[in-house]
């Protein structure tokens, strides 16, 4: 079945969706208290807390060598039983609660019927609430909803099209991500050195319950993260403004005009990277922190803290962005203080200190296991520019963000002087100003390569937020616009139409390191021979794909190791077949050597590798010619770029 076929994608998306619903929708309902607010608030809160739960317990189970689907389910069951034993008016032991549930299950004749009735009642109640709300809708409200859905559909399309049609991992980081996810599956911690493993536990647990090739998890999680970032912007603006137009502007700006914000990093929206995974949790955490400081509900604090923990366990830049955002919200509440602000601030500070401990804990564990920091991550984090660094040239969207910050700061000053209610304007103004300074001056002042390369990504998250909040300010003071909903709808529709006329409508296609058919052949081989044993003789990109399923040998090593004139796959200098080989060996002979564009920033790194591959190609051609003189050579697959030869080794009992 072709990778891009509807049947293939439907099958794997269905499994991926079931796994996601089980782990991040159903399990949180057994584990956590409900969050105050709407059902959406509760769902997002449970999702954030569940991701934190998965990562923290993933570390614990992996260290204990118990990291398997059953081990994770056991932890979920024990925690759920403990919570249930403490939830009623009378506290019971976990054992008593478990026995009560067991006997209730086996003795209740109507257990399934009762569960079905409860489900039907819940659906009926939700339908009633929806119908009651719909009665107050006007045609303009329906039009706004349709426009939001259309924008969301385009956001999903441009980010997922490549993942659904091309099986090759996106960007060079894709292979590292896939390999590290599989190391976690194999219960190997910090295989390539200490580096935050949060996203890899997230992907691994999805794979354990999806029962599909890890490559599909890799391909789906990246676009999902990018869509969640966009939805996070919409959710934050909707909760902070109570409007529909401001969130829609923010979603449009990041979702479809993001190529103006991100420049060359726009391609990362369709790739799977831990930085973007960490960004998912930044803005929703600020929403729950703001609600806690205002209303004091402990679940809101739990959610905000869990979101910050996840960023710390995932990527340093996401953690820094979350801390700056939380600090901005805290300062805003001190500028316009409410009741109990001192006590709640103390609670927030304690959670902030705890987040530092949670972030550092994996490093301590890694050193205890004898690991050191990942060399490439350390070199990148500590690198400094050796030449003069100039401030970045500001484009139109940057100036739009600066203007929005100016509007927010002006409105914030008025709010503080008049003790107004709009703390989010103050928080947005401070957050936006801080991140603009990091983007504009961080690189030139520190000469840090990290800030020079990645401060743009953090600034791009904040820009839609401050622009959306500035729209809210204008709508608040220009009251006449509030009475012209069709005008606001027309402006939003016009922005959407402009986005469809530009590059934002085109699917994002990250660069690849190999042909799509190379990966399709791997999927075909793995499906047919995974449980019979196989080895690929191929380039190093296949290592991450094959890891955990089969074996791989480099082409150059293979040619030097085995004598083509002797019985199939006999080592040079020996007379018997290599007994350690898998029963089926597939030799990738590249007709064309895949090369990234010479304009790509990684081309200088890959160029020596390409030169070696041309040498290996010639050596393999000679080896295959000699082998064909003495033995039959079966062609397993062939296209314009690749021939795959199959050698089946006779097995002796």
Report the mean per-residue pLDDT for the chain: 89
DSSP class of residue 574 equals -
pLDDT at residue 79 in the model: 87
What is the mean pLDDT of the segment spanning 573-584? Answer: 86
pLDDT of residue 480 exceeding 80: no
What is the mean pLDDT of the segment spanning 52-67? Answer: 94
Task: Give the separation between CA 433 and CA 239, rounded to whole angstroms.
Answer: 21
Q: How far is CA 65 from CA 36, 62, 107, 210, 522, in A?
A: 37, 5, 37, 21, 29
Which comes out higher in pLDDT, residue 83 or 390? 390
Residue 566: partners with Cβ closer than 8 Å, 6 or more residues away: 574, 575, 630
User: pLDDT band for position 167 (50/70/90)?
Assistant: very high
Helices (H) and strands (E) in the chain, counts: 27, 7
Mean pLDDT lowest among 98-107, 217-226, 289-298, 404-413: 98-107
pLDDT tens for each residue of 120-139: 777 777 777 766 666 667 78
The half-sphere exposure of 533 on its side-chain side, counting CA atoms within 13 A, is: 8
Q: CA-based angle 171:176:182, to the nearest 5? A: 130
Task: Give the separation between CA 27 and CA 57, rounded to whole angstroms.
Answer: 14
Mean pLDDT lowest among 25-34, 77-86, 240-249: 77-86
pLDDT at residue 256 in the model: 94
Residue 418: partners with Cβ closer than 8 Å, 6 or more residues away: none
User: Residue 430, Cα to own-chain centre: how many angstroms?
Assistant: 27
pLDDT tens for each residue of 306-359: 999 999 999 999 999 999 999 999 999 998 888 888 999 999 999 999 999 999
Bridge partners for 571 per DSSP? 562
DSSP class of residue 508 equals P
pLDDT of residue 415 exceeding 90: no
Nearest of 23, 3, 22, 21 to residue 12 by alpha carbon? 3
Q: Is the dihedral of CA 207, 212, 214, 216 positive or negative?
A: negative
pLDDT of residue 574 exceeding 60: yes
pLDDT at residue 653 in the model: 43
| Number of other CB atoms surrounding residue 148 within 10 Å | 18
pLDDT of residue 3 exceeding 70: yes
Percent of the chain with pLDDT over 90: 65
Task: Give the separation between CA 593 and CA 555, rounded to whole angstroms.
Answer: 13
pLDDT tens for each residue of 183-240: 999 999 998 899 999 999 999 999 999 999 999 999 999 999 999 999 999 999 999 9
pLDDT tens for each residue of 359-400: 999 999 999 988 999 888 888 888 888 777 888 889 999 999
pLDDT at residue 1 in the model: 78
Q: Which two tokens stand for residue 628?
A: 């064909």
Mean pLDDT lowest among 11-15, 218-222, 421-425: 421-425
pLDDT of residue 90 exceeding 60: no
| Number of other CB atoms surrounding residue 353 within 10 Å | 10
The answer to whether 347 and 228 have CB atoms below 8 angstroms apart is no
Task: Give the separation between CA 120 and CA 111, rounded to whole angstroms.
Answer: 14
Task: Give the separation between CA 229 and CA 209, rounded to whole angstroms.
Answer: 24
Task: Give the separation between CA 590 and CA 347, rounded to whole angstroms.
Answer: 60
pLDDT of residue 521 exceeding 80: yes
pLDDT at residue 375 in the model: 85
Which pTM does this prediction carry?
0.91
Task: Give the separation between CA 82 and CA 97, rounded to whole angstroms.
Answer: 8
pLDDT of residue 277 exceeding 80: yes
Number of residues in the chain: 653
The answer to whether 245 and 45 have CB atoms below 8 angstroms apart is no
Residue 437: partners with Cβ closer than 8 Å, 6 or more residues away: none
Q: How far is CA 413 from CA 408, 410, 466, in A?
A: 9, 5, 16
Q: How far is CA 593 from CA 506, 542, 599, 610, 642, in A?
A: 28, 14, 17, 7, 9
Q: Where are the domains of the chain?
A: 89-133, 137-505, 516-648
Task: Give the separation between CA 621 and CA 76, rounded to whole angstroms.
Answer: 54
Mean pLDDT lowest among 123-127, 161-165, 231-235, 630-634: 123-127
pLDDT at residue 477 in the model: 83
Which comes out higher in pLDDT, residue 425 or 128? 425
Which comes out higher in pLDDT, residue 479 or 450? 450
Task: Give the separation between CA 260 and CA 501, rounded to whole angstroms.
Answer: 14
pLDDT at residue 453 in the model: 87
Nearest of 471, 446, 306, 462 to residue 383 by alpha carbon? 446
Q: Spell out a b/e string for 479-492, using b for 16 or more CB atoms within 10 Å of the CB, else e.
A: eebeeebeebbebb
* Residue 587: strand, helix, or coil: strand
pLDDT at residue 343 in the model: 92
SS3 for 330-342 is HHHHHHCCCCCHH
Rounded to a whole number of angstroms, the CA Rg of the chain reads 28
What is the mean pLDDT of the segment spanning 27-38? Answer: 90
User: pLDDT band for position 106 (50/70/90)?
Assistant: low
Most confident range (mean pLDDT) of 12-26, 89-103, 129-143, 471-485 is: 12-26
């Amino acid at each position: 079945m072709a990778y891009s076929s509807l049947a293939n994608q439907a099958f794997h998306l269905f499994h991926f969706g079931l796994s996601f619903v089980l782990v991040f929708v159903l399990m949180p309902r057994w584990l956590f208290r409900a969050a105050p607010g709407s059902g959406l608030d509760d769902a997002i809160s449970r999702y954030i807390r569940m991701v934190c739960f998965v990562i923290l317990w993933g570390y614990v189970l992996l260290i204990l060598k118990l990291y398997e689907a059953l081990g994770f389910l056991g932890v979920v069951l024990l925690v759920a039983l403990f919570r249930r034993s403490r939830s009623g008016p009378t506290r019971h032991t976990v054992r008593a609660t478990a026995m009560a549930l067991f006997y209730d299950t086996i003795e209740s004749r109507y257990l399934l019927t009762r569960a079905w009735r409860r489900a039907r009642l819940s659906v009926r109640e939700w339908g009633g609430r929806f119908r009651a709300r719909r009665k107050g809708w006007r045609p303009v409200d329906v039009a706004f909803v349709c426009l939001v859905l259309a924008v969301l559909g385009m956001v999903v399309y441009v980010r997922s099209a490549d993942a659904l049609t091309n099986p090759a991992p996106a960007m060079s980081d894709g292979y590292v991500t896939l390999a590290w996810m599989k190391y976690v599956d194999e219960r190997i911690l910090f295989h390539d050195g200490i580096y935050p493993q949060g996203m890899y536990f997230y992907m691994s647990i999805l794979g354990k319950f999806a029962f599909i090739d890890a490559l599909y998890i890799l391909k789906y999680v990246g676009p999902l993260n990018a869509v969640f970032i966009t939805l996070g912007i919409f959710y934050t603006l909707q909760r902070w403004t109570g409007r529909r137009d401001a969130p829609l502007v923010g979603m449009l700006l990041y979702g479809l005009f993001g190529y103006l914000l991100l420049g060359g990093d726009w391609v990362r929206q369709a790739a799977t990277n831990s930085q973007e995974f960490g960004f998912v949790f930044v803005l929703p955490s600020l929403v729950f922190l703001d609600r806690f400081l205002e209303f004091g509900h402990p679940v809101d604090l739990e959610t905000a803290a869990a979101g910050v923990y996840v960023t710390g366990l995932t990527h340093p830049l996401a953690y820094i962005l979350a801390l700056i955002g939380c600090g901005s919200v805290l300062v805003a509440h001190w500028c316009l203080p409410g009741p109990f602000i001192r006590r709640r601030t103390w609670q927030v500070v304690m959670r902030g200190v705890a987040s530092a401990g949670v972030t550092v804990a994996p490093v301590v564990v890694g050193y205890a296991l004898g690991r050191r920091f990942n060399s490439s991550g350390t070199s990148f984090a500590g690198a400094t520019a050796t030449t003069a660094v100039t401030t970045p040239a500001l484009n139109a969207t940057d100036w739009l963000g600066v203007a929005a910050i100016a509007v927010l700061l002006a409105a914030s000053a008025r709010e503080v002087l008049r003790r107004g209610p709009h703390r989010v304007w103050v928080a947005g103004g401070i957050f936006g100003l801080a991140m603009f300074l990091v983007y504009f001056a961080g690189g030139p002042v520190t000469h840090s390569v990290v800030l020079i390369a990645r401060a743009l990504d953090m600034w791009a998250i904040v820009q839609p937020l401050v622009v959306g909040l500035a729209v809210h300010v204008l709508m608040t003071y220009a009251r006449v616009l509030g009475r012209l909903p069709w005008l606001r709808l027309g402006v939003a529709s016009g922005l959407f139409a402009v986005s469809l006329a530009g590059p934002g409508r085109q699917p994002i296609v990250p660069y690849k390191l190999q042909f799509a058919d190379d990966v399709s052949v791997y999927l075909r081989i793995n499906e047919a021979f995974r449980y019979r044993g196989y080895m690929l003789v191929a380039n190093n990109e296949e290592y991450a794909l094959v890891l955990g399923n089969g074996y791989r040998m480099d082409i150059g090593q293979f040619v030097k190791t085995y004598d083509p004139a002797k019985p199939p796959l006999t080592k040079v200098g020996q007379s018997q077949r290599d007994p350690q080989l898998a029963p089926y060996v597939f030799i990738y002979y590249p007709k064309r050597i895949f090369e990234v564009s010479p304009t790509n920033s990684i081309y200088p790194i890959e160029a020596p590798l390409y030169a070696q591959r041309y040498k290996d190609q010639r050596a393999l051609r000679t080896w295959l010619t000699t082998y064909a003189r003495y033995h039959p050579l079966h062609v397993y697959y062939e296209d314009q770029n690749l021939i795959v030869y199959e050698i089946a080794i006779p097995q002796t009992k």
